[in-house]
Structure 1
Amino acid sequence: MWGLSRKGDSGFSSSSTALQVTQGIHATALTAIVTGASSGIGAETARVLALRGVHVIMGVIDMIDANNVKESILKEIPTAKVDVMKLDLSSMASVQNFATEFNSTRLPLNILINNAGICAAPFMLSTDNVELQFAINYLGHFHLTNLLLDNMKKTTRESKVQGRIVNVSSTGHQFTYRGGIHFEKINDPSSYNNWRAYGQSKLANILHAKELARRFKEDGINITANSLHPGVVSTNIYLHNRLLKGSINNMLFSIAPTSESIQWQIFCR
């Protein structure tokens, strides 16, 4: 169903697991930051990277859940290198504090996975008075990436190892507002649609990755930037949508996309 077993040029398909994709990789010299690593895709990403020897920094808002994930990883992989750091992507001050603290450790940065996000939230403003989905899904990650770029560039120069930036987006980007991103109406509650606003933030993730990739190529910088649609799984991204939160696992193989709402459920990440 949905081409789950169809393999691409890489030899993997959409049903391939992180363990399968990273089989045989030994990455003990690498350091990665994974945002939103306290649950779902972020937690599994952190676990598998740690299993392959990567020093993983979990950038999270929920320190209790993150520490539980860390303990679980260490129980499975006693030699794992995993640290937890506070990161609230809805606050530019928190993003600044996170980047400053990380850079002060003098750790290298090989991999940045911008994974954290929320989906279909009702209209709310962040602490910086920006619509919450745009703030968390896009602006926070945009700011974080900029603050960490010098570190990553230095790391690639000194290590001769290609750097990687991954923006977790969604195929739901194509269902944004008509005309694309409505910059002039980001904070307008009268025209707000929670699903369209979600798609808007995911489109911004993709455009961010494309522009980063263009600049890296133009400047001869050995860093790749990519965006991806991770699929539909049970994660805390559905926190603000009761319909999705309670039924996402059953929905994977029983969706009849007869309305815009249900179509959005398919693509939500």
Structure 2
Amino acid sequence: MLKFLIYICVCIFGVITLVWKIVIKCTPNMKGTVRYLAGIPGQSGYGSKSTADQVTQDCSSLPPNLTAIVTGATSGIGAETARVLAKRGVKIVMPARDLKKAAQVKENIQKECPKAEIIILDIDLSSFASIRKFCSEFLSLEIPLNILINNAGKFSHKLEFSEDKFEMTFATNYLGHFLLTELLLEKMIDTARETSVQGRIVNVSSVIHSWVKKDHFEFNRMLQPKHYNATRAYAQSKLANIMHANELAKQMKAINANIAINSVHPGIVKTGIIRDHKGIITDSMFFVASKLLKSTAQGASTTCYLALSSKTEGVTGRYFVDCNESRCSALANDDSEAHKLWKQTRALIHKRLRTKIRP
């Protein structure tokens, strides 16, 4: 029993240390750390304690008939994002691999918002073929597309590969969202032009993108690593999400498309990724560390802020934390590396699918 109690204490200390380390990395100085812990609002008027409901309260005069696609909406901050957007009158398209869970989320949202319009379509974000099928089905609906929330996340604890033979975390978090965005972008551009309403894309990333060093960010090695480290693979995918947003923002500016794309760190939330290890020890650890963790409602706030707020109109190619613009890593801000990654990804997709995407 004594050994068991010591083990629990060590685990709790380890989690608190890890969470604190992430908090410190998320906030560049002690003042920023205090601001985070106290929930002190930043320039936007919101902070780490702000919820998705709170940051969208001033969105009552939104343009009519907005449509949003939210990936990963069957649980966690994705489900909360879908709920709040639906509450603000946005039609929700929910791509889901688990259709039963998606139906339950839809039912829960419609209990709160009976008039909410929610469409569920099947998708596996780790599969190129499944993504193409989803996009074909969505486009056949002939409805507008104003908002794309690339939220779904995968943390593969062991080395496994997608059906396309790519490392699963990278395939799901980055490659899948890259292809999804490319196949839907023309629809978003057309919608923005026809409605004069700015299209908005939000890539949900993570502060741990800053843990990746340049010599560990090599495209082919990320696709098929020889020596697998789960945390590094996740961090690499989240770095790629930011680079994707930054590169695409530049491309949209170059063609004068009325599309904004930004990336966010949602905070440290007890999401489905953490629930994979649900149990008495895990629950105890996160209860003790709860003062450093965000609720799901707080975790979804920055995504909803960027998706709907008039304060972010015209803002693109930026990285946000706690609803305020923040600094990402030097590598994430490297324009040449971002363009290189985009070209490599485009070439890979074209080779595998013979699918023509934008030049």
Task: Tell me, yes or no, whether TM beats 0.5.
Answer: yes
Of 102, 108, 117 in structure 1, the residue corresponding to residue 138 of structure 2 is 102
What's the offset of the Cα at 1:20? 0.7
What's the offset of the Cα at 1:3? 2.2
Higher normalized helix content (fraction of residues): 2
CA separation of 1:120/1:93 partners in 2, compared to 1, >3 Å: closer, same or farther?
closer
Aligned partners of 2:276, 2:217: CA distance in 1, in Å? 22
CA separation of 1:143/1:245 partners in 2, compared to 1, >3 Å: closer, same or farther?
farther
Matched, 1:251 2:285: no
Give the RMSD, CA atoms, in angstroms: 2.0
What's the offset of the Cα at 1:85? 1.1
CA separation of 1:123/1:58 partners in 2, compared to 1, >3 Å: closer, same or farther?
same
Alignment of 1:172-187 (within 5 A): 172-187=208-223
Structure 2 counterpart of 1:79, which letter? K
CA separation of 1:249/1:92 partners in 2, compared to 1, >3 Å: closer, same or farther?
farther
Structure 2 counterpart of 1:160, which letter? S
Gaps of 5+ in 1: 256-269
Matched, 1:39 2:75: yes
Structure 1 counterpart of 2:174, which letter? Y
Question: What SS class does the counterpart of residue 112 from structure 1 fall into?
Answer: strand
Alignment of 1:44-59 (within 5 A): 44-59=80-95
Say if 1:121 and 1:240, in contact at 8 Å, map to a contact too.
no
Matched, 1:196 2:232: yes
Match of 1:84 in 2: 120
Say if 1:34 and 1:58, in contact at 8 Å, map to a contact too.
yes
Say if 2:74 and 2:101, in contact at 8 Å, map to a contact too.
yes
Q: Percent identity?
A: 49
Of 10, 14, 30 in structure 1, the residue corresponding to residue 44 of structure 2 is 10
Match of 2:205 in 1: 169
Matched, 1:215 2:247: no
Give the TM-score normalised by structure 2. Answer: 0.67
Q: Deviations over 1:229-258 (max 9, x none)?
A: 001112212365569965545434379xxx
CA separation of 1:126/1:240 partners in 2, compared to 1, >3 Å: closer, same or farther?
farther
Say if 2:166 and 2:224, in contact at 8 Å, map to a contact too.
no
Aligned partners of 2:154, 2:275: CA distance in 1, in Å? 7
CA separation of 1:74/1:217 partners in 2, compared to 1, >3 Å: closer, same or farther?
same
Structure 2 counterpart of 1:17, which letter? T
Gaps of 5+ in 2: 1-32, 294-359
Give the TM-score normalised by structure 1. Answer: 0.89
Match of 2:349 in 1: none
Match of 2:158 in 1: 122
CA separation of 1:241/1:107 partners in 2, compared to 1, >3 Å: closer, same or farther?
same
Aligned partners of 1:226, 1:102: CA distance in 2, in Å? 23
Question: What SS class does the counterpart of residue 164 from structure 1 fall into?
Answer: strand
Matched, 1:157 2:193: yes
